[in-house]
Amino acid sequence: MPRDGHDLMELEDHLFFLCTQVVYRRSRALQEGLKPLGLLETEYRVLSAVLRKGPLTMMELAQWTAYERSRVTYILNAMEARKWVLRTSLESDRRTVVVHITPAGREIFAAAKVIVDETTETILRNNTAEDLDRLRSTLKTMRQTLLDMEAGRR
């Protein structure tokens, strides 16, 4: 590690600092936009994953949302109370909980998606399609590397 600081990258140029800033600032913008619906950004992410990927086990939902299982449980408790999701058990294994989206969940998701899409479009409007394609490809490669590291395949 450099002692004089000359070899340190400026924080504003550090890749993971920038990624974190984009993710957290987008989350805050979505949180503000979704507030009139009474929907949290975390709840939107859960609805999106279940709607797009079909009924999911708790483990699958945790993987798709990148939330810890305990956080998923906490989020689902509130969502189930509002009848946006339903948790059931698999007939073949009663210990496995599966999360389903309800008609009320589909309805709130549809309203929220308009807000999320508008916010996302605003955020991305100053980037070319080529920039976004290159970024998407790079992030997918980095994500796979992280998944491999988690699985011990460094």
The pLDDT confidence band at residue 81, using thresholds 50, 70 and 90, is very high
Of the candidate ranges 19-23, 47-51, 93-97, 141-145, the one whose mean pLDDT is the lowest: 93-97
Query: Cα angle at 12 between 30 and 119, to 5 degrees?
Result: 15
- What are the pLDDT digits (tens) for 112-136? 999 999 999 999 999 999 999 999 9
pLDDT at residue number 119: 97
Radius of gyration over alpha carbons of the chain, in Å? Answer: 19
For 97, the 3-state DSSP assignment is strand
Q: All domains of the chain, ordered by start, with CATH?
A: 11-118 (1.10.10.10)
What is the model's pTM? 0.83
pLDDT at residue number 12: 80
Residue 108 has pLDDT above 90, yes or no: yes
- Ranges of beta strands (E only) in the chain are 56-57, 85-89, 97-101
Residue 1 has pLDDT above 50, yes or no: no
- Are 45 and 52 in contact by the 8 Å Cβ rule? The answer is no
For residue 51, give the nearest of 65, 33, 37, 71 by alpha carbon.
65
